[in-house]
Structure 1
Amino acid sequence: MFVIIGYIFMMACIFGAYAVHGGELAVLWQPTEIVIIFGGGIGALIVGYGGKPMKATLKAAPSIFKGSPYNKNFFMDLFALQFEILTKIRKEGLMSIEADVDDPHSSAVFSKYPKVAHDHHLIEFMTDYLRLMVGGNLNAFEIENLMDVEIDTHHHEAAVPSTVIAKLADGLPAFGIVAAVMGVVHTMGSLHLPPSELGKLIGAALVGTFMGILLAYGFVGPIASVLEARAAAATQAFNAVKTTLLASLNGYAPQVAVEFGRKAVESTERPSFKELEDYVKNAKGK
């Protein structure tokens, strides 16, 4: 929603001010120059990032128009789920969660928290380390190192779409200059035309530079920032799981372990201690 609102506000200010000063908006509509700018930029991306990075970017692009899934409600579900799993371990032993971690989609515990259960990567991360707790001989220090490696790898992978879009934004002003130069070349070959016609050709050529800069900094660049923030939010969720599980491995009670994880969440999305306590009680009663 904020992406659309921002675009509308930006265009209203830029084009509105231009129109107020007597500018003709129709002059700015140069579809061939837009094709040159975007075609050149996307072609360069295919050369530099063809294959998996481009597929990841196309898959991530539609998400910019949706709100981030990593909000307070998501983290309430995440901590309630971990509390329930860790409580089950404490009461019934590690082997009691074996069926849950082997098939979380069929687990009665995981199915109670659909917001988290739909996040395939996070569930896989959580169940992998719960499985290590059940059947592995690794200590907390070794598991923490392994978690850090996996989180770094995941963050690098999640950041690929924002990197690709940022590179596209960086290149658009240059391709805008390409479009402008091509327009000037066309104008130089039309010097036999009257001044009024030459003025239109020169104006159309200059639109290339304008469009390249506007598209880069007004439209494409902000998308890269949105995707970067989404990747950081996903990493925050992984760190919350990591902190909670490590606290449990170090012998803390489930309620205290979850409190460790809660502290790993940014204040804007972090549920309060009372909110989380009440939510966990209600969730356990389901």
Structure 2
Amino acid sequence: MDWGSLAGLVLALAAIAGGQWVEGGRLGALMQPAALVIVVGGTLGAVLLQNGMGTLWRGLRLAGKAFSPQPPFYEALIASIQGWSKTARADGFLQLERYLTDQRDPFIAKGIRMLVDNVDAETLRSILETDIDSYERWERQSIRVWEAAGGYAPTIGILGAVLGLMRVMDNLGEPALLGSGIAVAFVATVYGVGLANLVCLPIANKLKKQLALELLKRTMLADALVSIARGENSAVIQERMNSHWQHGG
């Protein structure tokens, strides 16, 4: 669990509740089931219409990554690349097969398998770059679910406010019903703006940051594997990896 991200969400919600309390308002006034149904349901419906069920489901599942720590990978990656390079130069590409036994990353496994199969460097680069491009498109489609939700939620909140005011107008002759209608109107706007700016857009931006790091990692791996296929010295490969990291890490 990325406790910093979770703490940020809790802090944002606590600040809103605390501000309501400091101003003398009732915290219960922020709890309006009708407004919640309008904003959450309306936003989900709009995002579903735009993206389809498959993409929506992938986007919802991807949200867990925003609250998962992303451990540093550079040192371990360099160590692995150095090991592959030295093995390939000393013992030949066939000996790289032993690294496939416990390899959990399918991208790395694909690259090493192609080295073992003696795929030439340019073909290897083409295949790995195509894989990276496909991965990026797939991930960005899922991230756009949260960007879309961040765009629709405030507008749905305004719709909720209009519905609440319509209820007020219908019940002008019954003062007892006016308060609940006004409450739904204002709280729906709070829900819409809050959902967009405290949840959806921060999650989208966090996921984009994580995607950028993953793409950097895959680009470094592709470059390293191509260099190994060309028989380059491990020191030269490390210098190239250092350049990638300094300019993109």
* Structures share fold, TM-score greater than 0.5: yes
Distance apart, 1:92 and its partner CA: 0.8
Aligned residue runs from structure 1 range 26-105, under 5 A:
26-69=28-71, 71=72, 74-97=73-96, 99-100=97-98, 104=100
Q: Contact 1:88–1:96 (CA<8 Å) still a contact in 2? A: yes
Query: TM-score, normalized by length of structure 1?
Result: 0.77
- The reply on whether 1:157 has 2:134 as its aligned counterpart is no
- The reply on whether 1:233 has 2:213 as its aligned counterpart is yes
Query: How far apart, CA to CA, are the structure 2 residues paired with 1:63 and 1:24?
Result: 35
Distance apart, 1:146 and its partner CA: 3.4
Give the match for residue 233 of structure 2. Answer: 253
Query: How far apart, CA to CA, are the structure 1 residues paired with 2:248 and 2:111?
Result: 28
Q: Contact 1:240–1:262 (CA<8 Å) still a contact in 2? A: no
User: Would the alpha carbon gap of residues 51 and 198 (structure 1) be closer, same or farther in structure 2, given more than 3 Å must change?
Assistant: closer
Q: Contact 1:243–1:264 (CA<8 Å) still a contact in 2? A: no
Q: Secondary structure at the match of 1:159?
A: helix
User: Would the alpha carbon gap of residues 53 and 186 (structure 1) be closer, same or farther in structure 2, given more than 3 Å must change?
Assistant: same
- The reply on whether 1:130 has 2:139 as its aligned counterpart is no
Distance apart, 1:27 and its partner CA: 1.4
- 1:175-196 CA-to-partner distances (Å, cap 9, x unmatched) read 10111111111111111123x7
Distance apart, 1:41 and its partner CA: 1.0
Q: Contact 1:159–1:227 (CA<8 Å) still a contact in 2? A: no
Q: Contact 1:165–1:220 (CA<8 Å) still a contact in 2? A: yes
Q: How many pairs are equivalent?
A: 247
Q: Contact 1:161–1:224 (CA<8 Å) still a contact in 2? A: no
Q: Contact 2:12–2:198 (CA<8 Å) still a contact in 1? A: yes
Listed as ranges, the gaps of 5+ residues in structure 1 are 112-116, 270-286
Which of 144, 148, 152 is the aligned partner of 1:171?
A: 152
CA RMSD of aligned residues (A): 2.3
Listed as ranges, the gaps of 5+ residues in structure 2 are none
Q: Secondary structure at the match of 1:171?
A: helix
Query: How far apart, CA to CA, are the structure 2 residues paired with 1:266 and 1:159?
Result: 24
Query: How far apart, CA to CA, are the structure 2 residues paired with 1:37 and 1:157?
Result: 27
Query: How far apart, CA to CA, are the structure 1 residues paired with 2:50 and 2:215?
Result: 26
Query: How far apart, CA to CA, are the structure 1 residues paired with 2:171 and 2:108?
Result: 67
Query: TM-score, normalized by length of structure 2?
Result: 0.88
